[in-house]
Amino acid sequence: MRFQFILSEIGIGLRRNLSMTISVVLVTFVSLTFLGSAALLQAQIGKMKDDWYDKVEVSVFLCPAGSPEPTCAGGEITQDQRQEILAALEAPEVAPFIEQIYTESKEEAYEAFQEQFGDQFWASAATADDMNSSYRIKLTDPEQYQVVADVVSGRPGVEAVEDQRRLFDNLFLVLDRATWAAGGLAAIMLLAAVLLITTTIRLSAMSRRRETGIMRLVGASTLFIQLPFMLEGALAATVGAALAIGGLWLGVQYLVTDWLGQSVTWIPYVGTSDVVAVAPWLVVVAIALAAVSSIVTLSRYTKV
C-alpha cells in the first residue's frame, strides 16, 4: 500500500513538472556524456601509451662523412669509436635499462628510407652514403630514456640521439588537454544538472505542501514524506545517465570501432567494453546528483 502511494506521488510530481523533468533528463544526459567521453579519452590515451611506449626505441645516429656536428669533426665514425659507444652502453650502471641493441647499417637505413619515401620524386636523389648508420636501443623502461641519452650524447662519433617517444608526446599533450576540456564542460553541466534537479524538487514540494502537511499531521515520517521527491530526481537523473551510456556505446561502436578501427588499424582503440566499465560510474554520479539536490532542497521545502 505504501509502495503504491509512493509510486502515485512520483507520477503526480512528474506530470506536474513535466517540462522541468525533461530538462533534468537532457542536462544530465549531456553532462554525463561529456564526463563519460573524458573517461574514455583518458582510457584511449592509456591504451596508446601502453602500446606505443612499449615499442619505441632510442636511436643513436652515428657520424657520416661531412657532418657539421662538433662530435663528428673527425669525419665518419671509426671502428674504435663504435666500440667505445657500445662499451658505454654495456656498462653495469646502464645495462639494466637496456633490453637489446640493434645495429642498422647505412644500406639498411637506405632500404628503410626507400620503403617509406620511395614514391617521392626527391627520394631518387638519395644514396646509401647519405644515410646514417645507427644503434637502435630497446629499453626495459621507456621512461628511463634520459639515462641512456646522457651516456651516449656528446661522444665522438655520435651525431644525434633521438627518443621516438618524444614524437608522441605532443599528441598525448593534445589529447590530455582535450580530456581536461571535456572534464571542465562536464563539471559545468553537472552543476547545471544539480540546479535543475533542485529546482524541480522544490517546485514539486511547493505544489504539494497541502498533501505533505496532511501526511505530517497523520504521523508520517520525514523519510516517507520526502521519499517521492527524492525518487523523482533520482529517476530523472538515472534516465539521463542511461541515455548518456547509450550514446557513448553507439558512438564507440559506430564511430570508433566500425569507422576509425577500419580506417586506421595501427592504433589500439577503446571499445564497447570500456563503455560498460564506465557505465556504473555514470549511474553512481547521476544518483549522487539527485542525492545532493534532495539534501539541499527537501530539508527546507518539506517543513510544515
Q: What is the pLDDT of residues 80-103, one digit of tens each?
A: 888 888 888 888 888 888 888 888
With bands split at pLDDT 50, 70 and 90, how would you rate the model's confidence at 164?
low
| Residue 218 confidence (pLDDT) above 70 | no
Residue in this structure with the C-alpha cell 514524506, named with its chain if needed: 225
- Supply the pLDDT for residue 246: 94
Structure-block grid coordinates of residue 11 = 507520477
* pLDDT value of position 245: 93
Q: Which one, of 162, 159, 161, 160, lies nearest residue 66 by Cα?
A: 159
Name the nearest CA neighbour of 157 among 59, 60, 63: 63
From the list 31, 5, 20, the residue with the least C-alpha distance to 243 is: 31
Q: Where in the chain are all domains bearing CATH 3.30.70.3040?
A: 57-163
Q: What is the pLDDT of residue 111?
A: 83
The residue whose grid cell reads 545532493 is 292
Range from 38-42, 123-127, 252-256 carrying the lowest mean pLDDT? 123-127
Positive or negative, the CA dihedral 116, 118, 122, 126 is positive
Question: In CATH, what is the architecture of 57-163?
Answer: 2-Layer Sandwich (3.30)
Q: 251: buried, middle or exposed (CB in 10 Å: 19+, 13-18, 0-12)? A: middle
- Alpha carbon distance 301, 299 (integer Å): 6
pLDDT in tens, 16-67: 556 667 777 887 888 888 888 888 888 887 787 776 666 667 888 888 888 8
CB 159, CB 67: distance < 8 Å: yes
Which cell numbers hold the place of 286? Answer: 547521476
CA distances for 301 relative to 194, 222, 269, 292, angstroms: 16, 12, 48, 15
Phi and psi at residue 132, to the nearest 5° = -95, 135
Mean pLDDT lowest for which of 90-94, 128-132, 275-279?
Answer: 128-132
β-pairing verdict for 158-163 and 134-139: unpaired
Name the least confident of 4-18, 112-126, 268-282. Answer: 4-18
Per-residue pLDDT, 76: 85
pTM equals 0.61
**What is the mean pLDDT of the segment spanning 118-128?**
71
Could you give the CA distance from residue 46 to residue 32 in angstroms, rounded to a whole number?
21
* Mean of pLDDT values over 266-285: 88
Residue 209 is predicted with a pLDDT of 60
How is residue 152 written as a grid cell? 651516449
Lowest mean pLDDT among 65-69, 90-94, 110-114, 219-223: 219-223
